[in-house]
């Protein structure tokens, strides 16, 4: 079982409009709702790849009930979310059909009490016992300690479970110091962590700060991985237009599935890059176009070399 942690779960609402214009009224052409937050998006992609996935994190209020009701109908995903008093947040994505651009509006999330945080930590420790890998994903809701991910990384390492961390800011800075197996920042998050805008230098710096492996998402330039086994870059053959909201989450799913299947790093990166690109043409985050994915998988260019033994 792969475990994904989404401390700040959400109900993702996507609106499609013909053209988004400031200071104007808009007629919405399509509305979709999905359980959201980065870890839930990762879980849905993993389930479509054939993996058993358990999701945990916080859920509360009427919005939280909608999230859990929709998770019930998601094949391959087991709900182990922990209840809180405050309401689960909503996120709004507005897709401009004319340009393909997406505007994102994110609520902050519920305020988590110390008792609720303690209850989550106990549940997490129990879930680790059956996990083959764990992904810690997304922002921290109010009330959760800024060093929360560092503690969760240490718990996973103590249990012998490989852990991938995908967050940003101070939560990432502290989490890296706990020595996660993989971090997956985008270019901006990597620059914020290291102070360097040069990806090769920044990934090396992030490893010196504690991450065993760094896989950086570089937009159109693909993925750059610096690992103990070597360094590689994976580049999709062409840019695809659509909704990029869940592209990074699809890449995380590709990396996690490759990890538990023990694929060589070039194959993991090719899968992650192809999934990321195929998610852009899907209507909402947490999905991917299987035909596009299968067509791209053999065309992703992976360059680099293994470290000499």
Residues 11-60: tens digit of each pLDDT: 988 888 898 888 888 898 988 888 989 999 999 999 999 999 999 999 99
282: pLDDT strictly greater than 90: no
273: pLDDT strictly greater than 80: yes
Question: Cα(first)–Cα(last) distance of the chain, in Å?
Answer: 32
What does the pLDDT average to over 181-197? Answer: 91
What does the pLDDT average to over 278-285? Answer: 66
Q: Name the band, by pLDDT with cuts 50, 70 and 90, for residue 140.
A: very high
Catalytic positions are 249
Of 76, 109, 154, the C-alpha closest to 7 is 109
Tokens representing 166 are 């995908």
Residue 31's φ and ψ, nearest 5 degrees, are -130, 135
- CB contact set of 176 (below 8 Å; sequence gap of 6+): 165, 183, 193, 206, 209, 210, 211
What does the pLDDT average to over 192-215? Answer: 90
Residue 109's φ and ψ, nearest 5 degrees, are 105, 170
Partners of 102 in the β-ladder: 95
What does the pLDDT average to over 205-229? Answer: 89
Q: What is the pLDDT of residue 54?
A: 96
Identify the weakest region by mean pLDDT among 25-34, 110-119, 182-191, 258-267.
25-34
Q: Name the band, by pLDDT with cuts 50, 70 and 90, for residue 4.
A: very high
Residue 190's φ and ψ, nearest 5 degrees, are -65, -40
Q: What is the pLDDT of residue 237?
A: 77
DSSP state of 186: B
- 204: exposed, middle or buried (C-beta count within 10 Å: 0-12, 13-18, 19+)? middle
Q: Higher pLDDT residue, 294 or 189?
A: 189
How far apart, in whole angstroms, are the C-alpha atoms of residue 248 and residue 256? 12
How far apart, in whole angstroms, are the C-alpha atoms of residue 289 and residue 109? 30
Residue 144 contacts residue 7 (beta carbons within 8 Å): yes
Convert the pLDDT of each residue in 225-259 to its tens digit. 999 988 999 888 766 665 566 688 989 999 999 99
What does the pLDDT average to over 166-177? Answer: 94
Q: Higher pLDDT residue, 154 or 23?
A: 154
Q: What is the pLDDT of residue 308?
A: 54
Question: Other CB atoms closer than 10 Å to residue 119's CB: what's the count?
Answer: 16
Question: Other CB atoms closer than 10 Å to residue 150's CB: what's the count?
Answer: 23
Q: Higher pLDDT residue, 184 or 236?
A: 184
How high does pLDDT run on average in the chain? Answer: 89
């Amino acid at each position: 079982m792969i475990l994904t942690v989404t401390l700040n779960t959400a109900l993702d609402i996507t609106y499609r409009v013909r053209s988004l214009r400031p200071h104007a009224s808009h007629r919405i052409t399509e509305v979709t709702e999905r359980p959201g937050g980065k870890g839930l998006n990762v879980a849905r992609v993993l389930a479509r790849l054939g993996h058993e996935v358990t999701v945990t994190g916080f859920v509360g209020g009427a919005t939280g009930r909608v999230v859990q009701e929709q998770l019930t109908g998601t094949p391959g995903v087991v709900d182990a979310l922990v209840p809180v008093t405050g309401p689960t947040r909503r996120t709004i994505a507005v897709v401009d059909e004319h340009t393909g651009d997406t505007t994102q509006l994110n609520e902050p999330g519920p305020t988590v009490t110390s008792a609720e945080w303690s209850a989550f930590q106990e549940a997490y420790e129990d879930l680790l016992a059956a996990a083959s890998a764990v992904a810690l994903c997304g922002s921290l809701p109010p009330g959760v300690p800024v060093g929360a991910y560092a503690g969760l990384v240490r718990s996973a390492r103590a249990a012998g479970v490989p852990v991938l961390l995908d967050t940003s800011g101070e939560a990432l800075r502290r989490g890296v110091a706990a020595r996660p197996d993989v971090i997956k920042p985008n270019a901006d998050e990597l620059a914020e962590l290291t102070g360097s805008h040069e990806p090769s230098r920044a990934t090396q710096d992030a490893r010196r700060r504690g991450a065993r492996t760094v896989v950086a998402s570089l937009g159109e330039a693909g993925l750059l991985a610096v690992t103990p086994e070597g360094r590689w870059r994976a580049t999709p053959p062409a840019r695809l237009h659509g909704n990029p909201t869940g592209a990074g989450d699809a890449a995380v799913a590709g990396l996690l599935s490759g990890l538990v299947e023990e694929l060589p790093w070039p194959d993991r990166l090719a899968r992650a890059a192809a999934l990321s690109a195929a998610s852009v043409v899907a209507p909402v985050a947490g999905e991917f176009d299987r035909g596009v994915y299968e067509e791209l998988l053999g065309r992703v260019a992976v360059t680099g070399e293994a470290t000499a033994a």
